[in-house]
Structure 1
Amino acid sequence: MCRPILPNLRRRRRRSKIIARIRPTNPGSNMPELPEVEAARRGIAEQLLHDEIVEVDLRLPKLLVASDGLGLEQLVGLSFSEIRRHGKYLTLLAGDLALVIHLKLSGQLVGRGPTIPGFDAGHPVPAYGAELPHKSTHLIIYFASGSRLYVTDIRHFARVRLMPVDDLDGYFNNLRLGPDVASSAFERQWFHGAIARRPQSRLKPLLLDQTFVSGLGNIYVDEVLYRARLHPERLARTLAPTEIDQLFDAVGEIMAIAIPISGANILNGKAIPER
């Protein structure tokens, strides 16, 4: 017998990871997404900007992708003057250099120092508050105040790109990222048109596509679809205008929950919203 092509839309819906206190899940699925990366942006913006860089320790060479002739040692003597985020990408500006960070599946950014409260952002393994550096620490940036910025990654997929500031626009243009779902560029009229231009796309893969919208991954796409009461395998062309509105609103509502709490801490099969 052939299996049906269409999904069973009547099957029982799962509980929400963020809204539910505890829900069985795959702890390996907690890839840093927009709320986790935004937590890193806030931590760096509030605690590490305008602090002179005095040393850079690169412990995993493949972490760094540098433009010709550039090396991290060129950051010494500079300070980060600005930090930007688009989706899951962070960009730190220092003089005429830019550092672009993507945490990929399991990266962390951790700030520590004698004069700052510190922060932990990204994947929850190793545990927040772990003694640093450890075996998964691949980059340490030391500041004049005694503060340190650690880049850690248990799976070695995270990447740090060093390039001239003048190359940033070309780099991001080549990525063809969609609008950041927490930005003013993500707006209702645009979303209706964008859905109409992708009629054959299924909803979950569509929302995961960073060239469609930027910042969502498995965790928050599941949350958005659950909140909108839409099956992840629905085709975009089957959505009524009211359902497109539901989907758009759900994105904003889930981001409004997740960003203030720095994202979902999903570990050992439990969803723990609180830090």
Structure 2
Amino acid sequence: MPELPEVETITKQLDKSVSGKKINEAEIFVPKIVKNSKKEFEKIIFDAKIKKIGRRAKLAIFELNNGWSLLIHLKLTGQLIFNGEKNKHTAVIFNFSDGTRLIFNDLRKFGYIKPIKTEDLNDFFEKEKIGPEPLSEKFALADFKNILQKRPKAKIKQFLMDPKSIAGIGNIYADEILFASKIHPLRRNQDLSTEEIKNIFKNIKKILAKAIELRGTSVENYVDAKGQKGEFEKKLKVYGREGEKCVKCGGEVKRIKIGGRSAHFCPSCQK
């Protein structure tokens, strides 16, 4: 699933290439992707201009000039490709007045497009109880400590992946953050020392920022808005490396299940 760095990469690229364009029509090939009737959706988007494109958590936000916004969630296998080619996994095509287009592909068809009044966006995210943005300047160490204290018995890996704790961190980056911080994924929040908490906080900021710089991680279907794979995969230390040698100590990278999700770690380096 595209996480914060992947969605941030796509929305930044699209904000440059798509903002200001007028939508002529949307070709809908997988109706369940759009959370409105086709007639309602077409009425909302027809002749609307895209004012700007942003992100909250793992959601892309397309703000239109008519008081509406489109929330787009890529879920497991979604792709948003500017001037891409239609294929058998194409769910929706946005055609613009200048002849360009935006392709929404989704192999598993779990993604969605949800129109919402722009003035209702804040209420929507409050209702969903989405946690703070980890790369925001407003998200400080004190905030992180406070959130940890509210869930003392939570395992740190599950905590990092919970969008109600912190927005946008999934399996890939939770594994990499904990490896960089030398923290075992089964550790409970209440058992973390002050120094360990500082390290986790520092590595959240550092690793997410680096992943954005390298346009995300393409371990499955992810490509950026130009159809290109991200390059952070080359930097992965533990995620997807079960059975391989640890890059630090030479020990074996292990994988365990925590709450139905995989966790990759080095038993020697992470305590």
| TM-score normalized with structure 1 length | 0.77
In the other structure, the counterpart of 1:138 is 91
In the other structure, the counterpart of 2:68 is 97
Of 159, 171, 175 in structure 2, the residue corresponding to residue 206 of structure 1 is: 159
Mapping of 1:234-253 within 5 angstroms?
234-253=187-206
Indicate conservation of the 8 Å contact 2:31/2:38, yes or no. Answer: no
Point out where structure 2 has 5 or more consecutive residues left out of the alignment: 222-229, 235-271
Residue type at the aligned position of 2:67: D
Indicate conservation of the 8 Å contact 1:70/1:162, yes or no. Answer: no
In the other structure, the counterpart of 2:226 is none
Between stretches 89-98 and 210-219, larger displacement belongs to 89-98
Tell me whether 1:164 sits opposite 2:117 in the alignment.
Answer: yes
Indicate conservation of the 8 Å contact 1:67/1:163, yes or no. Answer: no
CA distance in structure 2 between the aligned counterparts of 1:183 and 1:229, rounded to whole angstroms: 24
CA distance in structure 1 between the aligned counterparts of 2:76 and 2:200, rounded to whole angstroms: 25
In the other structure, the counterpart of 2:147 is 194
In the other structure, the counterpart of 1:259 is 212
In the other structure, the counterpart of 2:134 is 181
Displaced runs of 4 or more, over 4 A: none
Tell me whether 1:39 sits opposite 2:44 in the alignment.
Answer: no
The higher-RCO structure (CA 8 Å, 6+ apart) is 1
Tell me whether 1:53 sits opposite 2:23 in the alignment.
Answer: yes
Residue type at the aligned position of 2:141: R
Deviations 1:85-141 (A, max 9, x none): 1110111111211100111111111111xxxxxxxxxxxxxxxxxx72011100100
In the other structure, the counterpart of 2:42 is 72
CA distance in structure 1 between the aligned counterparts of 2:131 and 2:82, rounded to whole angstroms: 29
CA distance in structure 2 between the aligned counterparts of 1:60 and 1:185, rounded to whole angstroms: 39
Tell me whether 1:82 sits opposite 2:58 in the alignment.
Answer: no
Report deviation, 1:174.
Answer: 1.1
Residue type at the aligned position of 1:110: I
SS at match of 1:200: coil
CA distance in structure 2 between the aligned counterparts of 1:178 and 1:68, rounded to whole angstroms: 32
Residue type at the aligned position of 1:97: W
Percentage identity across aligned positions?
31
Of 35, 56, 78 in structure 2, the residue corresponding to residue 107 of structure 1 is: 78
In the other structure, the counterpart of 2:232 is 273
Indicate conservation of the 8 Å contact 1:66/1:163, yes or no. Answer: no
Indicate conservation of the 8 Å contact 1:53/1:78, yes or no. Answer: yes
Report deviation, 1:189.
Answer: 0.9
In the other structure, the counterpart of 2:169 is 216
Report deviation, 1:67.
Answer: 8.6
Indicate how the Cα distance of structure 1 residues 72 and 261 shifts in structure 2: closer, same or farther if over 3 A, else same: farther
Report deviation, 1:274.
Answer: 7.2
CA distance in structure 1 between the aligned counterparts of 2:132 and 2:20, rounded to whole angstroms: 29
Report deviation, 1:210.
Answer: 0.1
Point out where structure 1 has 5 or more consecutive residues left out of the alignment: 1-30, 113-130
Number of positions where the alignment pairs a residue of Structure 1 with one of Structure 2: 225
Report deviation, 1:69.
Answer: 7.9
| TM-score normalized with structure 2 length | 0.78
Report deviation, 1:62.
Answer: 0.2
In the other structure, the counterpart of 1:151 is 104
CA distance in structure 2 between the aligned counterparts of 1:237 and 1:160, rounded to whole angstroms: 39
